[in-house]
Structure 1
Amino acid sequence: MLELFTPHRETWLYRVNPALKFVVFFAFMLIVLFNQNFHFALNQLILYGVLVYSFSGYSWRKLLLFSVPIVISFVSSAATMMLFGKGVTIWWSWGLIKISEESFNYGLLLGFKTLSFGFISLVFLLTSRPILLFYALMQQFRLPSKYAYSFIASIRLMPVIVEELQTRSDALKIRGVHFPKGLKGIFQRLRMYTVPLFAQSIRRAQRVAVAMEAKRFQMGAKRTYYYPTTYERVDAVFVIVMVVSFASALVLSVR
């Protein structure tokens, strides 16, 4: 599973401050959300597609695999609006299905927005390390440490929970435990899996709390960081490239 999310090479986007990258991409997502210009939406889609397929550092095979859910969302959202939207110029009608020029254009607009959301999210997830993101949010944007370290602990413990789930499944198979079909089997699986995992999670949370207390962790105290993050020259390059690309997409949509 980890190999799937390992890039073939680290591009310049990996060196951008993750907190700055998060703010810029979040602003672009808001623009995508409120935009109603068809040509501007198409230009934005091309821009974010270039970011994903040219600067994410992953192979085309992995990128196509990651793009499958995004394409499915595009088809479902666009088709729904095309088939059941309202419009004056009717192209084809059959029962509840009514395709008009207006619904078709708005369906494509909605689909482009869906693809843009997916590409922005994908390029951010593939080129950002979650741990560094929360360290950067604490250092550059003064995110309270009690929230940041809570997310960091959750991310760190997720592989452990997955491993325990697999261990529990193997143990039940070795003991010859079989679950009946239907709702009874579902409830038995929930009882056999959730109770031990929940108990282990409580013990693990207690050990983490004791360890943080032993290291004299205080919420409001000024502290040093294991991963120091700062603004560098590549961050300025990133902002300039994104602003120029966005302005070009806007200008081309007006013409």
Structure 2
Amino acid sequence: MLTYQTWLSKVNPSLKFLIIAILFIAVLMVHNLNTMIWMTSLFFILYLVFNGFNMKLSFWMLLLSFLLAILSSTTMIFFGQGSHILFQWHLIVISEESLARGLHIGLRTFLYAMLSLVFASTTKPVLFFYSLMQQLKLPPKFAYGFLAAFRILPIMYEEFHIIRAAMKVRGIEKNKGLKGQYNKVKRYAITLLAQSIRRAQRMAVAMEAKRFSLAANRTYYYKVPVSSYDFIFFLTMLVIMAAAFILSSSLPLTPFTNVIE
């Protein structure tokens, strides 16, 4: 899935994860709609310029994020409270206050999606778990367990296609109606679950035999160091946040400085 290598790909995954997690919490404290607009715009530009996905995948990720933001904002926009009514039709009441709060929630959702995509599109899962073990001292038995589960996912996807092809050859897929769909789901679930349990048991025995549970005095095939790119990433996040607050005060786009009031 990761097609391009940008400078964000060279940032230590653990540090990147911690900084983005802190930003998640910091964004919850922002109630100024202008700040949220500028912040979302700047992180959106950061994702567009430095993401590691190909154009097709990046488009679909952006589309899903945009739809999710719209869905999260509509409830507050259509059914929120406010004294300055803009539109009213039966249960649907749109006021200036509800519109501002709905836009704020939608922008926050889209901003969270951008931060998540920045991390997902520039971080290799293997290096992330190695970084968790080396920098954050995550026990190896958990880290290697997550890595093993991550590697199983494409195997399960391939098995699903094999099972579906086998059922089509036998004519089982022709069952229609609600009962037929239920039986089809049951056949897939039981088969995939049984194979996954057997595979997990074999993998657990193999990992235990190779002493993956050993926590002390381990050596690692991949070394994930802390470099100058980590400082650049931290400085970039700090500049974006500061720029959003400065622009919101110097170039306000809306009169709503506190959507809670």
Give the TM-score taking structure 1 as reference length: 0.92
The whole-number CA distance in structure 2 between the counterparts of 1:114 and 1:191 is: 35
Q: CA deviation at 1:233?
A: 1.1
Residue of structure 1 in register with 2:254 after alignment: none
- Do residues 145 (structure 1) and 140 (structure 2) align? yes
Inter-CA distance 61–207: structure 2 relative to 1 (3 Å threshold): closer
SS of 1:224's equivalent? coil
- The number of residues matched between the two structures is 250
1:79 paired to 2:63: no
Cα pair 1:179 1:189 within 8 Å, conserved: no
Q: CA deviation at 1:119?
A: 0.8
Does 1:170 find its partner at 2:165? yes
Instruction: Report what 2:64 is aligned to.
Output: 69
Displacement after TM superposition at 1:206 (Å) = 1.9
Match of 1:232 in 2: 227
Which residue of 18, 28, 48 maps to 2:13?
18
**Residue of 199, 218, 221 corresponding to 2:216:** 221
Distance in 1, Cα, partners of 2:166 & 2:214: 40
Superposition deviation, residue 60 in structure 1: 4.2
Query: What CA distance in whole angstroms lies between the structure 2 residues aligned with 1:101 and 1:213?
Result: 61
Query: Which residue of the partner structure matches residue 123 of structure 1?
Result: 118
What fraction of aligned residue pairs are identical, expressed as a percent? 41
Instruction: After superposition, give the CA deviation of every residue in 1:166-225 in whole Å (9 maximum; x if it has no partner).
Output: 111111111222343233213311332222222211221122122213213334333111
**Aligned residue type for 1:104:** L
- Structure 1 regions of 5+ residues with no counterpart? none
Output the CA distance in 1 between the equivalents of 2:48 and 2:5. Answer: 13
Q: 1:178 to 1:217 in 2, by over 3 A?
A: closer
TM-score, normalisation: structure 2: 0.90
Higher RCO (C-alpha under 8 Å, 6+ residues apart): 2
SS in 1 for 2:199: helix
- SS of residue matched to 1:98: strand
1:47 to 42, 47, 52: 42
Pick from 176, 185, 194 the counterpart of residue 190 of structure 1.
Answer: 185
Per-residue deviation, residues 124-170 of structure 1 (Å, max 9, x unmatched): 11111112111101110111222212211110110011111111111
